[in-house]
Chain A
Amino acid sequence: EAQVTQNPRYLITVTGKKLTVTCSQNMNHEYMSWYRQDPGLGLRQIYYSMNVEVTDKGDVPEGYKVSRKEKRNFPLILESPSPNQTSLYFCASSLRGGRGYFGPGTRLTVL
């Protein structure tokens, strides 16, 4: 079954404690992205990747890091989380110019 998986689905953490949200896809897609969703602001792209070792900033990259060492994985790293990073995060993947598949989302709360 074609899917994008994210882990964890829910996370409560404290300010400054480094965390990683994993994202994996089984469709051999070149493109992968991370979004955050906040009420009234829609989906905002954090980082995107066009292929292995090729990543670029989206609209709201501050406070986040990503890496793309393998085609299937695209982890999101928060080195020092702050309360303003409390949000719902989605990972997505697609072929070039193709339909996007979103993961189920990770709800992050930073206290």
Chain B
Amino acid sequence: QQPVQSPQAVILREGEDAVINCSSSKALYSVHWYRQKHGEAPVFLMILLKGGEQKGHEKISASFNEKKQQSSLYLTASQLSYSGTYFCGTESPPRKTSNTGKLIFGQGTTLQVKP
């Protein structure tokens, strides 16, 4: 079952912050975040593997609450280059001890940053 992303779309001014949420109905082993610009392939942002883990990538960071089966992506002081569609991908292997490569993506969150 697809994870649910919220919001579906968000419009920001440069310098503003945004949070994108990803919620799954299944227990998770990992959460993957990607960004896709129009007409291009998705590009990897980060993977989160442990409960409560938080990672950063420039001014983009993410958290993963394994117990709540949720992840959030934080975009701080947004730049024009942050515009695109953000996807979370979740992995729920049977054993919860290793990954399998079966990744289920959410429907995406479209972010538009305006000058």
Which residues of A pack against B, CB within 8 Å?
31, 33, 35, 40-45, 48-50, 56, 58-59, 90, 94, 96-105
Contact = CB atoms under 8 A, between A and B. Distances in A.
Contacts of A44: 105
B95 to A, nearest CB: 13
A59 B104 contact: yes
Majority DSSP secondary structure for residues of B touching A: loop
Majority DSSP secondary structure for residues of A touching B: strand
B103 A45 contact: yes
Interface stretch (B39-47, B66-74, B76-84): B39-47
B2 interface: yes
Interface in B67-115: 87, 89, 98-108
B30 interface: yes
Interface residues of B, number: 24
Contacts of A97: 30, 47, 49, 99
Contacts of B105: 35, 42-45
B67 to A, nearest CB: 21
A44 B102 CA distance: 11
B56 to A, nearest CB: 15
A59 to B, nearest CB: 6
A53 B24 CA distance: 30
B43 A102 contact: yes
Nearest to B100: A50
A42 to B, nearest CB: 4
B71 to A, nearest CB: 15
Contacts of B42: 43, 90, 100, 102
A31 B98 CA distance: 13
A49 B106 CA distance: 21
